[in-house]
Structure 1
Amino acid sequence: MKVAILYEDNHLLVVEKPVNVPVQEDSSKDLDLLNYLKDYIKVRDNKPGNVYMGLVHRLDRPVGGVMVFAKTSKAASRLSNSIRKHELNRFYLVVAMGKLPKNSDTITHYLWKKRKTNQVYSVEQNHPDAKKAELSYEVLNQKEGMTLARVELHTGRSHQIRVQFQAMGTPLYGDQKYGDKRVKPHTQIALWANEIEIPHPTLKEIVHLTSRPPQSEPWDIFKDI
């Protein structure tokens, strides 16, 4: 595994998560990003014993891009508090199939996760296990029956962007789990964690980092943007 480090100090480690890598250990037993980074830091810095690495937010396995880890328990606690106070701003790039209803909008759905199948559904607000999901999007370009959009998350629900775009009738390119049946099997989903803004846990400043999606299909269609 090759992982690009975007920012690092004594409290934070911000990396570019590779696609198709689990964030933490799961039933697949594939090498996960959290344990990889612990081992990497242990060897690089010649640290005795276990290396602390705090997981403060998540990305779906197929998704690549900016991801923040805490290198101390103090940083992990403060970052988690920042997330609870909605001080963590996350932006994504997506390629959706079809045309979005508006050029920009804030949309709200109510989502329910079926844990046995790890599938998320858009349901009515009065569903007993429904959780509110909200995001904003801005259309950047449209080409070849697809739409490039920038998305800002206001809540952090499981599979949120994927399900909300499916609910609008514009599933993400390559997302065969949530509605895109028009591409070949094993096509990579067009969802990328492009940008993050977070208060530094010890310094009075905002850490702002970006990551560009790969120049492969369908991202290369919009390479001029």
Structure 2
Amino acid sequence: MDIIFEDDSILVCYKPAGVATQTKSIGEKDMVSEINNYLASKNEKPTAHVVHRLDQPVEGVMVFAKTSEAANKLTKQITDHTFRKKYYAVISRESFPDEGELVDYLVKDNRTNLSKVVKESDPRAKKAILRYRAVDHWDDKKLLDIDLFTGRHHQIRIQLASRTAPIVGDVKYGGISTGHNLALCSYHIGFNHPVTGERMGFDIKPKGADFADSKVAG
């Protein structure tokens, strides 16, 4: 466990790419079971509560609640948009504009577990908003710093892919195969502590191979 912060209410940690947030697959490691095993080893109740998720191939910083009360308060912050999430993504389209706001309407296909952009009039559509700016360039790669304002299924992945700028390694959405997990990292989360109300922020540096030549690599 790569633990960044812990107290009686919350646990903030790094999730490696390739590890699920939570899974029902027997024998497959996930973050919830790892945290519960860690808590049990300290003679604490193994009651990790999922507040937000990261896709299995995505690395990043996450917060888990240790009580249901803390989980409810953190979840409310996500609903109220006071829970902040920032990502780094590597794309291989040099001509992609260096900054902008992307607004789309998305639908998740439960059969394929993929999302797609649809018209606003689609009754199933959910609004998706992010802002980004390019913060590094190398070879034919561009590193985007992304502020995520809504947490839709595969949101960053499909919003970039729909503009012919898929994330490097994201073969599900047309990205080039690198043999690594996709080059997407949740590098910052910010929220109010569920008990004290103190504003907290946590940052990590990407460890993924496709970030290695960037200025933000860990």
TM-score by length of structure 2 reads 0.94
Alignment gaps of 5+ in structure 1: none
Counterpart amino acid of residue 197 in structure 1: G
Shift of 1:100: 5.5
Superposed, which structure 2 residues align to 1:17-166 within 5 Å? 17-27=15-25, 29-43=27-41, 45-47=42-44, 50-99=45-94, 101-166=96-161
Q: CA RMSD in A?
A: 1.6
Shift of 1:136: 0.5
Stretches of 4+ aligned residues off by more than 4 angstroms? none
Partner SS for 1:111: strand
Q: Are residue 202 (structure 1) and residue 202 (structure 2) matched?
A: no
Total equivalences in the alignment: 217
TM-score by length of structure 1 reads 0.91
Tell me the residue number matched to 1:14. Answer: 12
- Mark the CA change 1:129 to 1:29 in structure 2 (over 3 Å): closer, same or farther: farther
Alignment gaps of 5+ in structure 2: none
Tell me the residue number matched to 1:183. Answer: 177
Q: Write out per-residue CA displacement over residues 155-182 of structure 1, whole angstroms, 9 at most, x where no aligned residue.
A: 00010000001011110000000111x3
Check whether the contact 2:96–2:165 (CA below 8 A) recurs between aligned residues.
no
Percent identity between the two aligned chains: 34
Tell me the residue number matched to 2:162. Answer: 167
Shift of 1:128: 2.5
